[in-house]
Chains A and B, each alone.
Chain A
């Protein structure tokens, strides 16, 4: 009988359509293929992999992965070994993005999800640049006086406030704060910020760290201010390798290992999209 291995629970979270399942599919593919140069190695094939097979099939066909339906959750436990020889079971929950969205809007989340949050050792926070909504002020939208057709009318009433319309970065800060409060042990909680669909923004001349600081400044400040308790790192991941369905014909011809790309916070490029996971494992205590 093998000795009991250390177990780490990894919280993989993001708002709806921010790419959690696509990222998990790419990670699983690399693990299942057992590439020697990978940062992570799958020690043993789990007993049931039908869910992982399903999402991996879609990823290999370059199909847009289906949105994880609200109210459903999948959990996979993978026995992994890092490049430093550290062996442990890593629990990956794949929860619908509505879980995070509802936490902001409804101030509730499922009891099972609460259990995961409370025992989580590390967090992978996924952000898709296409779905980052800023807090645009009225002043920022105003046209110069000589261009505007008419002066602004102060009597125009406000539409009713809806929490769903709040900026993306506020919802994510709120989530991380609540998760920190709910945690059973107040230990260090590393956070990997994974900017998904990185190919959409990589021609903007910024590395992932710079992009994150510029587009999600409130979240960046929050993480920087709390980095002693929650060390963080930023990664850009292009799990599909390009936009879908526009680039599907080209992407489907590529070797799946070559199509997924990772860009480290400083801009260094790697083909190993498991890097954020190994960074989290090595950083959490």
Chain B
């Protein structure tokens, strides 16, 4: 029944209610219209459990809650409900005393979405983040051929391999963590079916912990990131990032360090095809020097 059009008449809604966009993760199907418009970038963050993939996204979303960030402005999101839920345990309202990112369940297979508007171009960019649980990536380390079965890898415009800095800062863990990072990278590059024009980013997370552990740890971490970047630079456009989503250590590394460079990388306009007709890289603009925190190589 339509609401009476004359003044002063109350209208009690009697018609069935209308279901609205869920605001939850976008499925492969649901992300379709965004992907088709030519200004969408699919970003896959790949790394083992607790390596900081979802925390990067939570912290990035949190930055826009405070204002424009990295010369970009928030322009919308189809997954606000999901972003709120994954950010919840970093909020005072949750009652937690230490900010936490809940572990992404294995059943989670969708995309988180942010539409950002770079100040320079003014053209909004849709970023679709594959926020998979770390478990499949842990399995890929044991069975590299499994990388072929992650569909997000094949449609990715950008693969961000997350390397857990807190493991590199721990003497008893670092060699194993570095070994597993190398295996994961090779598995993704050799079995993941990546597009030749996909960017490969090496993202060192939890830099606050590395930094607090001293120069031995920072040197070790930088050397590993350099090595991983060098390994991929022949076949892909590579950059490396040193990040700290949430600074929990001694406070000398700022919360959000490095995220601005990541945003700039994801939102940049690719000027020229990076691959020639033969599929070989064009004159490589790659620079794989490991940057200072926040800088992009």
Contacts and interface: CB of A to CB of B under 8 A. Distances in A.
Interface string B56-96: 00000010111110000111111011001101111111111
Interface residues of B, number: 58
Contacts, number: 188
B75 A112 contact: no
A249 interface: no
B183 to A, nearest CB: 30
Given A48-B8, A113-B13, 19 more contacts: A46-B6, A46-B7, A49-B7, A110-B17, A111-B18, A112-B2, A115-B3, A135-B91, A136-B92, A137-B99, A152-B98, A158-B89, A166-B84, A170-B80, A178-B21, A221-B64, A221-B75, A225-B124, A226-B76
Contacts of B77: 173, 177
Interface centre among B62, B65, B68, B99 (most CB of A within 10 A): B65
A36 interface: no
B255 interface: yes
Interface of A: 46-53, 71-78, 91, 93, 103-104, 107-116, 134-141, 152-154, 156-159, 161, 163, 165-167, 169-170, 173-174, 177-178, 181-182, 213, 217-218, 221-222, 224-226
A141 B74 CA distance: 25
Interface in B17-57: 17-23
B54 to A, nearest CB: 15
A108 B17 contact: yes
Given A111-B18, A221-B73, A72 B10 contact: yes
B100 interface: yes
B246 interface: yes
A161 B88 contact: yes
A111 B15 contact: yes
Contact of A217 (B12, B67, B78, B88): B67
A176 to B, nearest CB: 9
A76 to B, nearest CB: 4
Given A75-B5, A156-B96, A225-B74, A108 B11 contact: no
